[in-house]
């Protein structure tokens, strides 16, 4: 009985968080506050009431139109709300109830917003990336306080360095290097600062190993999709394709299936360790 109760509660929480993410997706690229003013119709500026803000249901009951001016509402709102709800439900099945579920929910919520914003506007708001870094470090500090030790430290000169710190440093170093090489090869910016900060934020949550697996998956997926778009004429060879969504998909693959993805990644290089860390904590 309690299992079904928590499933329903997690799904409902995901719908509510998805509704807030829609606010972030609309306002952040426009440099607007996500707190003020209260929710309003972007077409007629009418303030939305509680009955207008019920996730998914208000969208459907109003026939995809604003109650006040009848302007059409994008399907993105319902898709983001449902995606977040299903994503949270999946996290509950992966993590169960507890602190890991909370930190993974914060990670996934930010990734969903980043995916939608970068796909549409080709930017990643710094606030979301810094949020990921902060919550990733907070995740490991919580684990340190709860267990009395760092979960998966990397020992440098005999000093244990927390996995979140190593993940941040690796994300910055790798993407700065990729950007530098791209600049030399193509004579133009090939990796934005937002992608670099996103990698650092993901590294804070997943540690250096989870980040590495995420980036490899992102590169492979980006190459396949990029070649496909160029081959079908949907993109020209030098036309920009945002890389952020692919980084997000790689990270989500590690979050939900890291126990298979990361060992499989290591097996490609002949490593078969028994315990593979896929989070900075636990």
Q: What is the DSSP letter of 96?
A: -
Distances in Å between the Cα of 99 and the Cα atoms of 1, 95, 281 are 21, 9, 10
What's the pTM value of the predicted model, to 2 decimals?
0.93
**What is the average pLDDT across 76-89?**
96
The domain spans of the chain are 1-97, 125-282
| Residue 144 pLDDT greater than 70, yes or no | yes
Q: What angle do CA 185, 203, 259 make, to 5 degrees?
A: 110
- Report yes or no: 38 and 116 within 8 Å, Cβ to Cβ: no
| Residue 187 pLDDT greater than 80, yes or no | no
Of the candidates 28, 189, 200, the residue with the CA atom closest to the CA atom of residue 129: 200
pLDDT confidence bin for 121, thresholds 50/70/90? very high
pLDDT number for residue 86: 97
Of the candidates 86, 113, 140, 122, the residue with the CA atom closest to the CA atom of residue 248: 113
* Bridge partners for 156 per DSSP: 159
Average pLDDT, the chain: 90
pLDDT number for residue 190: 60
pLDDT number for residue 242: 86
pLDDT number for residue 189: 62
For 235-255, how does the pLDDT look when each residue is reduced to its tens digit (9 = 90+)? Answer: 777 777 888 999 999 999 999
Residue written as token pair 């692919």: 246
Q: Is 161 helix (H, G, I), strand (E, B) or coil?
A: strand
For 161-174, how does the pLDDT look when each residue is reduced to its tens digit (9 = 90+)? Answer: 999 999 999 999 98
For 34-69, how does the pLDDT look when each residue is reduced to its tens digit (9 = 90+)? Answer: 988 889 888 888 898 888 889 999 999 999 999 889
**What is the average pLDDT across 95-122?**
95
| Terminal Cα-to-Cα distance of the chain (whole angstroms) | 27
| Residue 185 pLDDT greater than 80, yes or no | no
pLDDT number for residue 138: 97
| Residue 277 pLDDT greater than 80, yes or no | yes
């Amino acid at each position: 009985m309690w299992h079904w109760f928590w499933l329903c509660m997690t799904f409902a929480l995901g719908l509510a968080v998805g509704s807030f993410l829609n606010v972030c997706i609309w306002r952040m690229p426009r440099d607007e506050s996500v707190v003020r003013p209260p929710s309003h119709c972007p077409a007629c500026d009418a303030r939305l009431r509680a009955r207008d803000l019920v996730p998914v249901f208000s969208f459907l009951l109003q026939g995809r139109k604003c109650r006040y001016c009848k302007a059409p509402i994008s399907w993105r709102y319902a898709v983001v709300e449902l995606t977040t709800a299903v994503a949270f439900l999946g996290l509950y099945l992966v993590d169960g109830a507890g602190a890991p579920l909370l930190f993974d929910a914060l990670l996934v919520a930010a990734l969903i917003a980043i995916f939608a914003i970068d796909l549409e506007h080709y930017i990643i708001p710094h606030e979301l990336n810094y949020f990921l870094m902060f919550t990733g470090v907070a995740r490991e500090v919580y684990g340190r306080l709860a267990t009395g030790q760092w979960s998966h430290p990397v020992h440098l000169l005999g000093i244990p360095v927390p996995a979140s710190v190593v993940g941040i440093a690796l994300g910055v170093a790798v993407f700065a290097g990729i950007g530098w090489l791209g600049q030399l090869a193509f004579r133009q910016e090939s990796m934005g600062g937002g992608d670099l900060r996103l990698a650092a934020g993901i590294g804070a949550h997943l540690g250096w190993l989870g980040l590495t697996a995420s980036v490899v998956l992102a590169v492979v997926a980006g190459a396949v999709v990029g070649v496909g778009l160029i081959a079908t004429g949907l993109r020209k060879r030098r036309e920009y394709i945002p890389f952020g969504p692919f980084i997000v998909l790689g990270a989500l693959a590690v979050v939900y299936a890291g126990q298979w993805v990361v060992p499989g990644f290591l097996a490609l290089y002949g490593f078969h360790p028994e315990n593979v860390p896929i989070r900075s904590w636990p």
